[in-house]
């Protein structure tokens, strides 16, 4: 019986410790808990037809971008975050240039790069579908330094060709073939 008392006491103490670590069992100040935000975009082509979705999450490691494209031509395509939340077709130039709050050059392989809006190329298979999942370490969704969603919003844009990841300002990735306004947070 004496043996079970320390074990029970130890289990109770461990339970209280774990509850404190998870924030359960005691109130925490709002400022001590991380706030994770998310936003979404519905990609459309120049005629307004659905071409996929993107979800962006603010994480402890940066801004995570997950995009799924459907109905696109097979091959490798550039995909980027753009600095204006407008997708006027068919050319989508209303989305502006790449999101670049740090004033870097374009391209993950470029000296002095990349823009924060530079994402890895997306490979579209023969079925017309492909996806990309990438974390922008210095990015944020709405608040703080390098926030994507400012007063004029932001967009995600799919290009006709692969991004060479070196050429400023857009990696020679060709025309914009799909666009989605990012909203949420």
Q: What are the pLDDT digits (tens) for 63-77?
A: 999 999 999 999 999
User: CATH homologous superfamily of domain 38-184?
Assistant: Superoxide dismutase, copper/zinc binding domain (2.60.40.200)
Domain range list for the chain: 1-33, 38-184
Confidence (pLDDT) at 185: 61
Query: What gap in Å lies between CA 167 and CA 117, rounded to an integer?
Result: 14
Q: Are 68 and 125 in contact (CB under 8 A)?
A: no
Which residues 6+ apart lie within 8 Å of 8 measured at CB?
A: none
3-state secondary structure of 81: strand
Structure token pair of residue 113: 């790069």
Indicate whether 5 pLDDT > 80.
no
Contact call for residues 163 and 121 (beta carbons, < 8 A): yes
For the chain, the average pLDDT equals 81
Q: At residue 35, does pLDDT exceed 60?
A: no
């Amino acid at each position: 019986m004496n043996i079970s008392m320390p074990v029970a006491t130890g289990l109770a103490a461990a339970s209280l410790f774990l509850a404190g670590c998870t924030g359960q069992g005691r109130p925490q100040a709002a400022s001590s808990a991380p706030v994770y935000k998310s936003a979404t975009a519905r990609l459309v082509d120049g005629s307004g037809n659905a071409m996929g979705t993107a979800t962006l999450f603010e994480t402890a490691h940066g801004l995570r971008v997950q995009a799924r494209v459907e109905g696109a031509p097979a091959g490798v395509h550039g995909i980027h975050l753009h600095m204006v939340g407008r997708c006027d077709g068919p050319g989508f130039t209303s989305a502006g240039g790449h999101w670049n709050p740090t004033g870097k050059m374009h391209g993950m392989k470029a000296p002095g790069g990349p823009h924060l809006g530079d994402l890895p190329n997306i490979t579209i298979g023969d079925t017309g579908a492909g996806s990309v999942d990438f974390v922008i370490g210095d990015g944020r969704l709405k608040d703080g330094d390098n926030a994507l969603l400012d007063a004029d919003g932001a967009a995600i844009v799919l290009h006709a060709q692969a991004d060479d990841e070196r050429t400023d300002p857009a990696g020679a990735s060709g025309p914009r073939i799909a666009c989605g306004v990012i909203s949420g947070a």
